[in-house]
A and B are shown apart, each in its own frame.
Chain A
Amino acid sequence: MEFETVIGLEIHLELQTRSKLFCSCSTAFGREPNTSCCPVCLGLPGSLPVLNRKAVELAIIAALSLQSEIQKESRFDRKNYYYPDLPKAYQISQYDRPLALGGFIEMKNEGVKRKINLERIHIEEDPGKLMHSGESIFDSDYSLVDYNRAGIPLLEIVTKPDLRSGREARLFLEELRCILLYSGSSDCRMEQGSLRCDANISLRPAGSKTLGTRTEVKNMNSFRAVEMALDYEAGRQAAILSAGGSIIQQTCHWDEGDRKAIPLRGKEGSSDYRYFPEPDLLPLILKSDYIETLAASLPELPSQRRIRLMEEYGLDPADAAILTENRSLGDLFEVAAGEYKDYRNLARWVRGDLLYLLKGNDRNPSEVAPSLLIELLTMLDEGEINRPVAKDLLANIVKNGTNPRELVQQKGLGRIADREKLQPVVEKVLAENKDAVDSIKQGRKKAFAFLVGKVMAATAGRADPEKVQKLLRELIN
């Protein structure tokens, strides 16, 4: 039988605030254990939460950029359960009145346009972190608790069951990450845990509209892991169903090493969370003009920019994608394109040599002055310098911010096109490479390129290649 895979994701993102959601402790990553804690985030008796304005703002910006509808009145609730990383034995979350409802992401999967709908978006606090004494949670006699993470603001995004494969889930996450990076609401680093993703997955006969029994997959620590884990689980379910078996509703842990999803038992047996409205926090009432102000300040969506880059600058899809994914690289391109009109050439340089140099030198695109880039490309276009020299000059721009024209003048790097200057060099090369000259006379083209290279090397790459070729032909014949 043909099966259709049905996947819904639950994504947790850390909102990029300086302080925690309900107290003024720092959210900085990697601090010594239990050094970023206060009475509020430790849940000490008598402490009370106070909501962080920035967290609300970032959550709204994220929700708006996902086309989700901000609710004028939302509410905080307590989710009650016992776990040692949860200092108050309840997590302050939003239950039946979340911050935003609906929303969607549009993307392409193998050329097919897909619209993935969102269920809801809400704000909640992160629990602390557990360190286990053994290899894993299963074989540990004891665990250690660090509450630095407790109270860090999280955005929870729940999708509708609209995803159809592990690959699609990964593509969705990549697009989501790109959108949220654009909006500046989260740094979305899966490896640091600032983006986490759980999935619900079930199978149904192709064409069916009802949902099958689902399993929950957790502990997927990279986009690649999401794809692998979900494909693995879909395969497992398909094998069971094809053999006439049935799926047990359960939670699985993805084991990255073994590439297997292991069923998890027993953690919080029955999940009766006894939600009720948080009495310590008043409802969050948002005025329309506040939401409108935030909406107006929203940056262009990545998908919009991608299309605009192609339409406005005539870039091909691959260039547009790279310049969209890396927002500040795209910004650099667009500023430079304001003056430099050979857009495709500019795009090639920006996403090619420049991006390579930026990565190699650990620099940001925003550190590069667009005027220097324009200067460089103009010099190249006008034949003032050669391509290899241009690459060196670009490296100097990235590393030291050096003006290429000044450097050319200072070091005499300009192109050599004068016959008087080139002829002695060419003659010398010919004299030293008689074999090659003979080969050419016997019709071997390769040897000609070899001689051009020799001349270029002898001029430190500065010789005008066309002039060199002309001279070579002239002198050989």
Chain B
Amino acid sequence: MELYQKTAAELSRLLQDKEITAVEVFNSFTERIDEVDPHLKVFITCTLDSALETAAAVDRRRMENEELHPLAGVPVAIKDNFCTEGIKTTCASKMLESYIPPYDAAVVEKLKRIGMPILGKTNMDEFAMGSSTENSAFFVTRNPWDLERVPGGSSGGSAAAVAAGMVPLALGSDTGGSIRQPAALCGITGLRPTYGRVSRYGLIAFASSLDQIGPLALNALDCSLLLEVIAGYDQRDSTSLPHEVPQYSAAAGRELEGVRIGLIEENISANFDPEIKFAVLKMAALLEENGARITEVSLPHTDYGLSAYYLIAPSEAASNLGRYDGVRYGYSADGDNIISLFSRTRGQGFGAEVKRRIMIGTYSLSAGYYDAYYLQAMKVRTLIRRDYEKAFQNFDILVGATTPTPAFKLGEKADDPLKMYLSDVCNITDALAGVPSLSIPAGLHSSGLPMGMQLTAAPLNEGLLFQAAAVLEKCSDSPPQQRTALNLTGRGEL
């Protein structure tokens, strides 16, 4: 077994026992990247030189018996919407094609501080707007399970990188499903933490009241290890939560006796792929076998979630993206007066989906529409939050499908924004409620593609999600690690 096939926890153990070196780990993953990235197209920027330096430094310090963080020397990839000092940060947009931030995002600081080599910055939908990574201004990323299919999005690059063994861990951002949906479509585990659990400082904003950073990994334990690193209060993010960070990794291994689980009716809907429905029910049965109590539950305002989300997120986005005006940084078009500079810069620098969302958002905030659209959506958001508050009075975890279907074909939904939006239908309400939500593998579809199950808990109860996920990993026939099965000469025409 190659090093690149191991989990982060396994690598961490081997590194701490000095059986392997961080440079060996680095070499194994970079060889894997050389091998598969030309086919999958995951990285917008590779930062192998600095990663190698980090790995070598970790080895040196370990030789000197310095006390190191368990993840020191374990490589990681980050989505290209995290600011990295001196390293191009593009958001997969022509607007920021050559933008070099003068500072590191809070999470990047944390990764650097503990000595995790950052291998590169992964592809995404432009400004994190999309569900397939096809909205990247640079290139599309392919699903390691089927090169003709999308990896999901918007953190598609990070999900594909982990699924294909290019990194054991990656960071993504989730505004309305952008971690969980690609995790499900790529057959890995991805967490959207409680809103405010991870500092957003240095995460390029899409929709500020929804954006949250989270880990993508092969299993729940790895996710919990990375969450321990990135979670915590940050004075630079006023919305970050002051609560202490528990040892999430200790949760994996606890029993499920007496845990109350609600099966969300709306997230195993009749029009979902029946195999996915069946897979979720099967996983629920496993939880029951392990001592959990399962009951069906309804979140009655789920139907309105998509509508509310597609008003709130674009409204905030329209405002957040106003700063790309060609004056201080980024793409700048020629213009002989200030308005033409602004309008041409933005008209030429943004892609179609970004422009669509800016238009929706501007519309819903504009005079005459504010009350009927934006304000009404914010009120519906309150009703959705209440659905969750009520549900968590009776349940500890809510479960359902992560996505209605497995990975779709490249181009299949690219021309129909509404169809694309629907692929996040299960991921939106918990984002609006700010609660933590985890997608885990739920077996393989008859098409050979992975399926995902989503587990949601009350605010700050991430540990409970890892606990349930670990139990399921132990007893289910979860999909084999794709990294060994990746067939590069298979169906995809490359």
Binding site for B on A (CB under 8 A): 39, 42-51, 78, 80, 82-84, 87-90, 145, 272, 274-276, 279-282
Which chain B residues border A89 with CB–CB below 8 Å?
319, 322-323, 325
Give the total of B residues in contact with A, Cβ under 8 Å. 43
How many Å lie between the Cα of A399 and that of B315 in the bound state? 63
The answer to whether A276 touches B315 (Cβ under 8 A) is yes
How many Å lie between the Cα of A279 and that of B318 in the bound state? 13
Which chain B residues border A46 with CB–CB below 8 Å?
82-83, 101, 105, 200-205
Q: For the complex, is B14 an interface residue (Cβ under 8 Å from A)?
A: no
Supposing A46-B101, A48-B237 touch, asked if A82 and B202 sit within 8 A by C-beta, the answer is no
Which chain B residues border A279 with CB–CB below 8 Å?
207-209, 239, 316
Supposing A82-B325, A84-B327, A84-B338 touch, asked if A280 and B239 sit within 8 A by C-beta, the answer is yes
Which chain A residues border B339 with CB–CB below 8 Å?
82
A50-B236, A275-B365, A279-B316 known; 11 new pairs, CB 8 Å cut-off, are A44-B102, A45-B83, A46-B105, A46-B200, A46-B201, A46-B202, A46-B205, A49-B238, A276-B319, A276-B374, A280-B238
Which chain A residues border B201 with CB–CB below 8 Å?
46-48
How many Å lie between the Cα of A87 and that of B362 in the bound state? 18
The answer to whether A282 touches B238 (Cβ under 8 A) is yes
28 contacts between A and B (CB under 8 A): A42-B328, A44-B83, A44-B103, A45-B89, A45-B91, A45-B99, A45-B204, A46-B200, A46-B204, A48-B200, A48-B201, A48-B238, A49-B238, A80-B318, A82-B342, A83-B338, A84-B327, A88-B323, A90-B322, A274-B319, A274-B362, A274-B365, A276-B315, A276-B316, A276-B365, A279-B209, A279-B316, A280-B238
Q: For the complex, is B425 an interface residue (Cβ under 8 Å from A)?
A: no
Q: Which residues of chain B in 356-415 are interfacial with respect to chain A, using CB atoms and an 8 Å cutoff?
A: 362, 365-367, 370, 374
B218-262, CB under 8 A of A: which get 1 and which 0? 000000000000000001111100000000000000000000000
Task: Closest A residue to B321 by CB, please name it.
Answer: A89
The one of B102, B205, B327 in contact with A145, judged by C-beta atoms closer than 8 angstroms, is B327
Q: For the complex, is B329 an interface residue (Cβ under 8 Å from A)?
A: yes
| Least CB distance, B326 to chain A, in whole angstroms | 9
B68-98, CB under 8 A of A: which get 1 and which 0? 0000000000000011000001010000100
Supposing A50-B238, A280-B238 touch, asked if A44 and B338 sit within 8 A by C-beta, the answer is no
Task: Closest A residue to B234 by CB, please name it.
Answer: A48
Which chain A residues border B202 with CB–CB below 8 Å?
46-47
| Least CB distance, A302 to chain B, in whole angstroms | 36
Q: Which residues of chain B in 318-364 are interfacial with respect to chain A, using CB atoms and an 8 Å cutoff?
A: 318-319, 322-323, 325, 327-329, 338-339, 342, 362
Which chain A residues border B370 with CB–CB below 8 Å?
274, 276
Q: Which residues of chain B in 174-227 are interfacial with respect to chain A, using CB atoms and an 8 Å cutoff?
A: 200-205, 207-209
How many Å lie between the Cα of A83 and that of B207 in the bound state? 22
Supposing A45-B96, A48-B238, A272-B367 touch, asked if A80 and B319 sit within 8 A by C-beta, the answer is yes
How many Å lie between the Cα of A51 and that of B203 in the bound state? 19
B424-466, CB under 8 A of A: which get 1 and which 0? 0000000000000000000000000000000000000000000
Which chain A residues border B209 with CB–CB below 8 Å?
279
Which chain A residues border B103 with CB–CB below 8 Å?
39, 44
How many Å lie between the Cα of A49 and that of B205 in the bound state? 13
Which chain A residues border B327 with CB–CB below 8 Å?
84, 145
The answer to whether B365 touches A50 (Cβ under 8 A) is no
How many Å lie between the Cα of A275 and that of B365 in the bound state? 7
Q: Which 10 A-B pairs have the closest CB atoms?
A: A89-B322, A279-B209, A279-B208, A274-B365, A45-B204, A46-B202, A46-B83, A272-B367, A43-B323, A46-B204
Which chain A residues border B367 with CB–CB below 8 Å?
272, 274
| Least CB distance, B433 to chain A, in whole angstroms | 15
The answer to whether A282 touches B323 (Cβ under 8 A) is no
The one of B89, B208, B322, B342 in contact with A80, judged by C-beta atoms closer than 8 angstroms, is B322
How many Å lie between the Cα of A279 and that of B91 in the bound state? 21
The answer to whether A43 touches B204 (Cβ under 8 A) is no
How many Å lie between the Cα of A270 and that of B145 in the bound state? 52
Which chain A residues border B200 with CB–CB below 8 Å?
46, 48
Which chain B residues border A45 with CB–CB below 8 Å?
83, 89, 91, 96, 99, 101, 204-205, 323, 329
Which chain B residues border A90 with CB–CB below 8 Å?
319, 322
Which chain A residues border B82 with CB–CB below 8 Å?
46
How many Å lie between the Cα of A90 and that of B324 in the bound state? 12
Which chain B residues border A87 with CB–CB below 8 Å?
323, 328
Which chain B residues border A51 with CB–CB below 8 Å?
238
Which chain A residues border B328 with CB–CB below 8 Å?
42-44, 87
Q: In the complex, which of the residues A44, A46, A279, A282 has the most CB atoms of chain B within 10 Å of its own CB atom?
A: A46
How many Å lie between the Cα of A272 and that of B366 in the bound state? 7
How many Å lie between the Cα of A84 and that of B316 in the bound state? 20
How many Å lie between the Cα of A426 and that of B329 in the bound state? 86
B95-118, CB under 8 A of A: which get 1 and which 0? 010010111010000000000000
| Least CB distance, A253 to chain B, in whole angstroms | 18
Which chain B residues border A50 with CB–CB below 8 Å?
235-236, 238
Which chain A residues border B205 with CB–CB below 8 Å?
45-46
How many Å lie between the Cα of A280 and that of B211 in the bound state? 11
How many Å lie between the Cα of A44 and that of B330 in the bound state? 10
Q: In the complex, which of the residues A82, A90, A282 has the most CB atoms of chain B within 10 Å of its own CB atom?
A: A82
How many Å lie between the Cα of A45 and that of B84 in the bound state? 11
| Least CB distance, A310 to chain B, in whole angstroms | 49
Which chain A residues border B96 with CB–CB below 8 Å?
45
Which chain B residues border A282 with CB–CB below 8 Å?
238-239
Which chain B residues border A272 with CB–CB below 8 Å?
366-367
How many Å lie between the Cα of A201 and that of B341 in the bound state? 35
How many Å lie between the Cα of A44 and that of B236 in the bound state? 14
Which chain A residues border B203 with CB–CB below 8 Å?
46
| Least CB distance, A272 to chain B, in whole angstroms | 5
Task: Closest B residue to A50 by CB, please name it.
Answer: B238
Which chain A residues border B342 with CB–CB below 8 Å?
82
Task: Closest B residue to A45 by CB, please name it.
Answer: B204
Which chain A residues border B83 with CB–CB below 8 Å?
44-46
B250-276, CB under 8 A of A: which get 1 and which 0? 000000000000000000000000000
How many Å lie between the Cα of A45 and that of B204 in the bound state? 5
The answer to whether A88 touches B101 (Cβ under 8 A) is no
Which chain B residues border A275 with CB–CB below 8 Å?
365
The answer to whether B322 touches A88 (Cβ under 8 A) is yes
Supposing A274-B366, A280-B238, A282-B238 touch, asked if A44 and B325 sit within 8 A by C-beta, the answer is no
Q: In the complex, which of the residues A43, A83, A272, A274 has the most CB atoms of chain B within 10 Å of its own CB atom?
A: A274
Task: Closest B residue to A266 by CB, please name it.
Answer: B339
Which chain B residues border A281 with CB–CB below 8 Å?
238
Task: Closest A residue to B240 by CB, please name it.
Answer: A48
How many Å lie between the Cα of A50 and that of B235 in the bound state? 8
How many Å lie between the Cα of A43 and that of B329 in the bound state? 10
